[in-house]
Amino acid sequence: MRVLVTPDYRTLSQTSAELVIKAVRAKPDLTIGLPTGRTPIGMYEDLVKRYRKEHLDFSLLQTFNLDEYIGLPQHHPKSYRTYMRRHFFDHVNVLPANIHIPDGSDPQQYERAIQSAGGIDLLIVGIGANAHIAFNEPGSSFDSRTRIVALAPETIHNAQQHFGNEPVPIKAVTMGIGTILEARRIVLLASGAEKSDAVERALRGPVSESIPASALQRHANMIVILDEAAKL
Ligand code: GLP
């Protein structure tokens, strides 16, 4: 596992965007796993900026999002589909047919779509304050596949700030930890002091299903990009 500590969020964002661009240049038909949340917003911003400036081509890219809330209409402002359009897809030439976002209707079909795309080459993932990855909450099996899950009370509580007066969904569909671990390369992003405890437990603690992100210690090709504040 390689750990890169960047001085600040801006550099974390640029470093992760650079890594994605390098991977796309090396393999234009890359299959990429994509996260949502506050952490990757800067990475998407940088990708869009560089896409415009450097005339990058994402038309062969296949994208698979890690997770999505259950129960929100697709165009709901807080759905991850809307997030992805707002921060990335509306600004670049990823083809709509190559965009995959799970919707809970057929989780096994999502797994098959990943397989038909040749598996995930590069998967970017954030981490929750309780060390969840995607929406794999503590207790998730390391063999888990794409499925519908109940969100942990802490996750619902943390998401409430984004939902204002509206209730936060209590269920989501998520790639499993087993699905995530099959990606050929994984990049974990963590920013801010509120993540340092989760990062510490994930990377230095025992590998345990009570700490979902600790599963990543088992991956042979893993890069962690932190900013100073999230540092162990
Ligand atoms: C949500 C997402 C995760 C994400 C996490 C952290 O729970 N399902 O995929 O990693 O939030 O989000 P943030 O980057 O906003 O801290």
Say how far apart CA 81 and CA 84 lie, in whole Å: 5
Question: What mean pLDDT is predicted for residues 154-161?
Answer: 94
Question: What is the per-residue pLDDT for 74?
Answer: 84
| 136 Cα to the center of ligand 1, angstroms | 11
Question: What mean pLDDT is predicted for residues 176-200?
Answer: 97
Provide the pLDDT confidence category of residue 162 given band limits of 50, 70 and 90: very high
Provide the pLDDT confidence category of residue 231 given band limits of 50, 70 and 90: confident
Q: Is the pTM of this model over 0.95?
A: yes
Ligand 1 pocket test: pick from 36, 69, 135, 187 the residue with the most ligand atoms within 8 Å of its Cβ: 36
CA distances from residue 104 to 5, 48, 89, 125, 197 in whole angstroms, order as listed? 36, 29, 21, 20, 31
Say how far apart CA 70 and CA 115 lie, in whole Å: 23
| 36 Cα to the center of ligand 1, angstroms | 6
Question: What mean pLDDT is predicted for residues 137-154?
Answer: 97
Q: Which two tokens stand for residue 34?
A: 């994509």
Say how far apart CA 11 and CA 43 lie, in whole Å: 9
For residue range 46-100, list pLDDT tens digits in order. 999 999 999 999 999 999 999 999 999 989 999 999 999 999 999 999 999 999 9
Residues involved in catalysis: 67, 130, 132, 137
For residue range 99-129, list pLDDT tens digits in order. 999 999 999 999 999 999 999 999 999 999 9
Question: What mean pLDDT is predicted for residues 165-182?
Answer: 97
Question: What is the per-residue pLDDT for 197?
Answer: 96
**Mean pLDDT score of the chain, rounded to an integer?**
97
Question: What is the per-residue pLDDT for 138?
Answer: 97
Write the DSSP assignment of 28-88 as a string of letters. TT-EEEE--SSTTHHHHHHHHHHHHHHT---TT-EEEESEEESSS-TT-TTSHHHHHHHHT
Q: Which helix (H) or strand (E) covers residue 2, if one does?
A: strand 2-6
Residue 232 has pLDDT above 90, yes or no: no
198 φ/ψ angles, rounded to the nearest 5 degrees:
-65, -40
Ligand 1 pocket test: pick from 44, 132, 148, 195 the residue with the most ligand atoms within 8 Å of its Cβ: 132
Q: Which two tokens stand for residue 209?
A: 């299903």
Q: What percent of the chain has pLDDT over 90?
A: 98
| 3 Cα to the center of ligand 1, angstroms | 20
